[in-house]
Chain A
C-alpha cells in the first residue's frame, strides 16, 4: 500500500469534524440529519481502513451493520421530522424547543 493508514485516518477525521461542525451550526433539521450521516460515513471509512491494513474482515462486517442501522435510523428519524412538521409547521431547530425548562 502506498497510502499510509494515517492518511486515511486523517481524512476520516476531517470528514467527521466537518460533519460535527455542520450539526452544530445548521438550523434546518434535515440538514442536521444529513450531517450526522456524514459523521457516520467518516467512521465507516475508519473501520474499512483498519480492516484493510489489518487484513481482517471484521471491520467490514461491522460497517455493514452500521449501514443497516443508519438505514433504520434514517427511516425513523425522517418519520419523526414529518410528524414534527405536521405539528409545528417548521423544521427549524431553534423553534422546536418544547423540551425547554
Chain B
C-alpha cells in the first residue's frame, strides 16, 4: 500500500482515539491509557505524514501531487463534490506540522491535565480536533475543506469551554467559547459566499479544476476580487485578523495545551493555509492582495501594541499570536506565499513552545496567571526558563534561531514586492515583539519573587518538559530550512513549495532584485530593532523597574487605550451585539414568538374551548329532545330522497 493510500489512516487513527476516549474514557479510569491512546493516535498520523513526505520526495518536482479518492460525496445534477485528499508539497508540510507539534502537545497534556476529572474527554476532543484539521488541510476541494473548517471551529468551542463551570473575566468559559464560535461564524459566512461564487464562476469546487481554469483568466477579473475578498473574510475569522480577532484573547479561557495547539500552532493558521492554497485566485485580484497585506501589517502592529501592556501571561502570548499571524498575511498579501507558510512552520515551533512553557509556569504557580505576581522563577524552573528563553529569542527574530529567517524573509518581501510603508510597519512590530516578549521573560523569571510565600513552585514533570525541549531544538535550528541564498543557503523550503505557487507566480509582476546591499541592510535593520527592543526590556524591567510605572503615569491615556484593547470589544458590543440581542428580544421574542405564535396557539385553544362551551348546550339531558332531533333529521332526509 502506498503512502497516499495510508492518508486515510492518518485521519482514522485520531478518529478512533476520539471515539475510544470519548465513549470509554471515563470507564477506563486510567490517565495513562487515555493519554497514551490519544498521543499514539496522533503519533501514528505523524508517521503517515512522514511516509507521505518520503513518497513525494521520490517523485520529480513537477509531479508531486497525489490525489486519494475515497468516495463520491455529493452528486446533484451537474454539481459534484467528492471526499478526496490532495497530497502535495503544501499539504504535506502542514500535515507534518499539525501531527508533529500535535503529538508533542498531546504528550505534554498528559502531565498538564493530570488529576482533571475530564481527562479522557480532553484527549477525545484533542483527537477530534486533529481529525478536523487534517481534513481541512488535505481536502482536495473547497467543500471538504469547509467541513474541516467547521470541524476545527467546533473543537475550538468544545475545548475553550472545556472547564465549563469556571468563571472567566466578566462571564464564564462558556461565554468565551460562544464568542469564538459566533465570531468564526461571521467569517464562515464569507467562506460560504466565496464557495457559491466559485461554483457559479468555475462550475466546480475541486481545487485542481478551479485553479486550472483560473490561471487562464487575466489579472483583474472582477469576480476574482469578490471571491478573494469573501475568502479573506473567512480567513480573518479563523486566523484572528482585523476585524474578527476579538475571540482569540478570550479563547485563553481554555486549558493551556489547547491554546498552544489550536490557538497558536494549527487552527489559526488555517486561514493562512487557505489563502496560500488559493494563491492563484488572489493573484488575479491585486486589490484583494493589497487588502490582505495592509490588514496583515496593521494587525501585526496593533496587536503588538496591545500585548505590550497586558498582565496575564497567556494574554500576552495571545496578542503575540495575532501579531505574528498578521505577518503571515502580510507575506501572502505581497505575493510571498512560501514565506508566509514558512512563518507558519517556525511560528508553530516557537509559539507552541512559549505556550507550553507558560503552561509549565502556571502549573508551578498553582494556576496563577498574572505576571505581576510572578518573578524570580528561574532558579525553581530551570528547564522551563531556558526553553522559554529560546522561544523568546526565536520570536524576537534574532539569528540564527528560526524566527529570524522567516520574519526577515517576510520583511524583505514586504519591502521589495510591497512598499516601504509596509516594511516599516512590520519592522516596528518586530521591535515591539522583542520588547514585550522580553518584558514577559523578565517579569516572569527574573528579579525578586513577587509571589506569596507558600507557593513552592516546582519544575514540571517529564511529560511536560520533554516536549518543551524538543520544541526548543526545533525553534533553534528549524530556520535553516529556509536559509536564503544571500547567507549561503539554498532555501530548500521555498524550492520545495515552488511548484504549488507556480501558477500564482506567473501572474505576479516580476520584481527587480534591488541588490545584495539592500538585502543585507534590511537584515541588519530587523536585527537591530530587535536588539533595541530587547535592550529596552532589559532596561525597564530588569535594571530600572520603576520606569514602567512612571511611563504609565505620563502616558496614562495611551496606556488605558492599550490596556483596553483599543475598546474594540466595547465597540462591537455596542454596535452589533447589543442591537442584535435587544432586537431579538423585542421583536422576535416578544413580538413574533409571544404575540403571534403563542397568540395563535393559545387562540386556537381558546376558540376550541368557546366552541365547546357553545356546543354543550345541546346536551339538555332530556331524551325526548334527542329523539326530536332524530326525527327532524329523518324527515329532512326522506324529503330530500323524495325530491330526487
Contact = CB atoms under 8 A, between A and B. Distances in A.
Instruction: State if A and B touch, Cβ cutoff 8 Å.
Output: yes
Interface of A: 20, 23-25, 32, 93-94, 96-101
Interface stretch (B354-362, B561-569, B624-632): B624-632
Interface string B584-621: 00000000000000000000000000000000111111
A97 B624 contact: no
B623 A93 contact: yes
A97 B620 contact: yes
Contacts of A97: 620-622
Contacts of A101: 616-621
A55 B504 CA distance: 105
Interface residues of B, number: 12
Interface in B154-174: none
Closest 8 CB pairs of A and B: A97-B621, A100-B621, A101-B616, A99-B621, A101-B619, A24-B624, A23-B627, A97-B622
Contacts of A100: 619-622
Contacts of B618: 101
B621 A24 contact: no
A97 B620 CA distance: 7
B624 A23 contact: yes
Interface string B507-546: 0000000000000000000000000000000000000000
A54 B177 CA distance: 91
A67 to B, nearest CB: 22
Given A20-B631, A24-B631, A99 B624 contact: no
Given A93-B623, A97-B621, 5 more contacts: A24-B631, A97-B620, A99-B619, A99-B621, A101-B616
Interface in B28-83: none
Contacts of B631: 20, 24
A100 B622 CA distance: 8
A13 to B, nearest CB: 11
Nearest to A36: B627
B535 to A, nearest CB: 97
B638 to A, nearest CB: 11
Contacts of A25: 624
A99 to B, nearest CB: 4
Contacts of A98: 621
Contacts of A93: 622-624
B616 to A, nearest CB: 4
19 contacts: A20-B627, A23-B624, A24-B624, A24-B627, A24-B631, A25-B624, A32-B623, A32-B624, A93-B624, A94-B622, A97-B620, A97-B621, A99-B619, A99-B621, A100-B619, A100-B620, A101-B618, A101-B619, A101-B620
A93 B620 CA distance: 12
A5 B112 CA distance: 107
A26 to B, nearest CB: 8
Nearest to B613: A101
Contacts of B617: 101
A9 B616 CA distance: 39
A93 B619 CA distance: 14
A32 B623 CA distance: 10
Nearest to A27: B624
A12 to B, nearest CB: 14
B332 to A, nearest CB: 80
A59 to B, nearest CB: 21
A32 B621 CA distance: 16
